[in-house]
C-alpha cells in the first residue's frame, strides 16, 4: 500500500489484479479505496488496478481546501494515468466518477474506457428533468441546513440517509460515525463543480471529445437526481450505455459488487 506525492498531494493507494489492462479506480466521498475491494476482486483477472484514497480520505493526507476538491482529485488521477504508455480503463464511483469524467474530457487519448457509477454531476441533469432535480434538492436540504448551522453530526446523519448504503445512522459503529462526521466538510468542498460546472465540461463539444466507450451505472433505488444525470451524459457521449443495478442504491459497488462487477466485465469484453 504505497504512499507518495501525486498531483501535488500526498496520497495512499492500493493495488490489486493481474489482468492485462491497466485501470485506475476512485471511490466515493467519505469512503476510501478499501470500499472498492469487493468490486476489484470481481475484476482482478481482467485488470491490473490502482485504487487511490482521495485527499482527506483513508490514509491520504488531509485536503487543505486550496481550490476545488474535484480539481485536486483530477490532478492526482492524471498523474497516475500519465505513467502508462497505453490508454487506461477508468472506473469511478460517485464523486470519484465526476473527477474521472474531467480527466477523460481533458485527455481522451489516454482513456481506453470510462465507467461512471452513480456520478452526481448535476450540471448534466438540470436541463433533462427539472422535477427530479427539485426532488433531489428537497432531499439534500436537511443536510445543507444542518451543516451550514455547524451541526456536523446531524448533517452527516442527513447526508447518509440520502447517499449512504441504507444502514441507519444509529446502527453504524462509533468509528464509522466519527469517520463520516470528521470528513463531512469534504461534501461541501466537493460540491463545487457538481452543480456549477466550473470546469466547463458541459460546454458544446467538450463531452463529445470522449470517444472511448463509456458505461453509466446506477442503482434502481438511487437518489432521484442520478438517473437524470446519466440521461444527460448519455445524450452527449458518442459511445455510452446506461446499465441499472436492480435493488441497489447509491452505494451499488459496495453493496452489490458482484452485480456491478458483472456489468463492468461484460462492458470491458466489448471495449477491446
21 and 58 in a common domain: yes
pLDDT tens column, 218-234: 999 999 999 999 999 99
pTM of the complete model: 0.96
C-alpha cell at 145: 441546513
- Residue 221 phi, psi (nearest 5): -110, 25
Query: Is residue 238 scored above 90 in pLDDT?
Result: yes
Report the domain count for the chain.
2
Domain encompassing residue 115: 3-128+195-270
Q: Are residues 146 and 201 in the same domain?
A: no
Average pLDDT over residues 179-195: 83
Shared domain check, 134 and 120? no
Same domain, 104 and 237: yes
Residue where one domain finishes, among candidates 166, 189, 212 = 189
Residues 52 and 143 in one domain: no
**Measured CA distances, 253 to 14, 28, 33 (Å):** 17, 10, 12
Which tens digit of pLDDT belongs to each residue from 45-76? Answer: 999 999 999 999 999 999 887 778 999 999 99
CB 46 within 8 A of CB 265: yes
Domain with residue 117: its CATH number is 3.40.50.1820
Same domain for 20 and 67, yes or no, is yes
CA 174, 179, 182, 186 torsion-angle sign: negative
Instruction: Return contacts of 207-210, CB within 8 angstroms, 24+ apart.
Output: 207/105, 207/233, 207/236, 207/237, 208/236, 208/237, 208/238, 209/105, 209/108, 210/104, 210/105, 210/108, 210/111, 210/114, 210/237, 210/238
Same domain, 10 and 116: yes
- Same domain, yes or no: 144 and 208: no
Whether residues 221 and 143 fall in one domain: no
Q: Provide the pLDDT for residue 195.
A: 82
pLDDT tens digit string along 88-98? 999 999 999 99
Query: Do 35 and 121 fall within a single domain?
Result: yes
Last-in-domain residue among 189, 206, 225: 189
Amino acid at each position: 500500500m504505497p504512499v507518495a506525492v501525486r498531483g501535488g498531494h500526498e496520497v495512499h493507494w492500493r493495488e490489486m489484479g493481474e489482468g492485462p489492462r491497466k485501470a485506475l479506480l476512485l471511490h466515493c466521498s467519505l469512503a476510501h479505496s478499501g470500499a472498492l475491494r469487493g468490486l476489484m476482486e470481481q475484476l482482478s483477472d481482467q485488470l491490473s488496478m490502482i485504487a487511490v484514497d482521495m485527499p482527506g480520505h483513508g490514509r491520504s493526507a488531509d485536503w487543505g481546501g486550496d481550490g476545488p476538491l474535484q480539481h485536486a482529485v483530477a490532478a492526482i488521477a492524471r498523474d497516475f494515468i500519465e505513467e502508462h504508455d497505453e490508454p487506461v480503463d477508468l472506473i469511478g464511483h460517485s464523486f470519484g466518477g465526476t473527477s474521472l469524467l474531467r480527466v477523460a474530457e481533458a485527455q481522451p487519448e489516454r482513456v481506453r474506457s470510462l465507467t461512471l457509477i452513480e456520478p452526481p454531476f448535476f450540471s448534466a441533469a438540470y436541463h433533462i428533468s427539472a422535477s427530479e432535480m427539485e426532488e433531489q434538492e428537497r432531499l439534500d436540504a436537511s443536510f445543507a441546513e444542518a451543516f451550514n448551522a455547524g451541526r456536523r453530526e446531524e448533517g452527516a446523519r442527513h447526508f447518509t440517509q440520502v447517499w449512504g448504503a441504507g444502514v441507519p445512522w444509529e446502527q453504524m459503529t462509533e468509528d464509522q460515525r466519527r469517520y463520516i462526521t470528521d470528513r463531512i466538510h469534504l461534501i461541501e468542498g466537493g460540491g463545487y463543480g457538481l452543480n456549477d460546472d466550473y470546469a466547463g465540461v458541459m460546454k458544446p463539444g467538450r463531452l463529445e471529445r470522449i470517444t472511448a466507450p463509456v458505461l453509466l451505472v446506477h442503482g434502481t433505488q438511487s437518489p432521484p437526481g442520478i438517473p437524470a444525470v446519466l440521461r444527460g451524459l448519455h445524450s452527449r457521449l458518442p459511445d455510452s450505455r446506461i446499465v441499472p443495478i436492480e435493488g441497489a442504491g447509491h452505494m451499488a459497488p459496495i453493496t452489490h459488487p458482484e452485480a456491478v462487477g458483472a456489468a463492468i466485465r461484460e462492458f470491458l469484453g466489448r471495449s477491446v
